[in-house]
Amino acid sequence: MVDSVSAYPFPRERFYQAEHHMWASRDSASGEVTVGIDVLGVQSLGDLAFVSLLPVGTRVERARPLGALEAAKITGDVVAPVSGEIVAVNADVLRDPSIVNRDPYGQGWLVRLCADRWVADAESLVSGSRLDAWVASEIRRYRERGWIR
């Protein structure tokens, strides 16, 4: 089961950016897309010490940085899974990045985007019928490499 039985849940209704382990979830009413880091991404990063995010009003492109993070003394970019304009930034996470570790799919969301190429961008993300196989292979790969138990 992808959703809840696994120690590494991947909620079914979301879309996942495979390379960087980001998730995206579209609200069908508003059209806004919420973005965060999935559970394998969080688990392999370890404790997040700092997160910075581009401000509201910034346009970001898919696969380009929407912010930066520091965990276990590695710094790098938080990569946008879809293109669009940032319409909200999670200020709680900026002040306490450990929220992402505790609740990656809930309070640990990072930004909301007004995604203007959702249909095209979503095709590059893992979702629906492809999800089970991808999650299983990623968990197996992470375990084999010793990145998770």
Partner 1 sequence: MTQATSTPTWRLLCDDGATHSRGLAADDALAGRVGQGLSPPSLRLYSYEPCALVGRFQTLETELHLDTCRSLGLPVNRRPTGGGAIVMGPDQLGVALVLAAGEGDTYARARELMARFAQGVVEGLGTFGIDARFRGKNDVEVGGRKIAGLGIYRHPSAGMLFHASILVGLDVAHMLRVLDTPFEKITDKELATVSARTCTVRRETGREVSVTEVRDAIAEGYRRVFGVALERGELDAAERSSVDTVEAEKYLDPRWVRQRIEVPDAFGSARRKTPGGLLELRVTLAGSTLKAVFIAGDFFAPEGAIADLEGRLRWHSSHPRALEATLREAYARWGDELGSLALPDLLETLAEAVRSASHAGAKEQLAMYGCFVNPQGT
Query: 36, 41, 84, 108: which one contacts partner 1 (CB under 8 A)?
Result: 41
Query: 30, 61, 72, 137: which one contacts partner 1 (CB under 8 A)?
Result: 72
Interaction between residue 54 and partner 1 (CB under 8 A): no
User: Which residue, 12 or 141, has its beta carbon nearer to partner 1?
Assistant: 141
Q: Which residues have a Cβ under 8 Å from the Cβ of 65 and sit 6 or more positions away? A: 54, 77, 78, 79, 80
Query: 6, 30, 75, 137: which one contacts partner 1 (CB under 8 A)?
Result: 75
Length of the chain: 149
User: Which residue, 19 or 123, has its beta carbon nearer to partner 1?
Assistant: 19
Which residue type sits at 81? P
Q: Which residues pair with 112 in a beta bridge?
A: 34, 88
Interaction between residue 149 and partner 1 (CB under 8 A): no
Query: 2, 11, 52, 103: which one contacts partner 1 (CB under 8 A)?
Result: 52
Tell me the C-alpha distance between 145 and 1, whole Å.
22
Q: Applying CB under 8 A, which residues contact partner 1?
A: 19-20, 40-41, 44-47, 49-50, 52, 55, 64-65, 68, 70-77, 91, 94-98, 142, 145-147
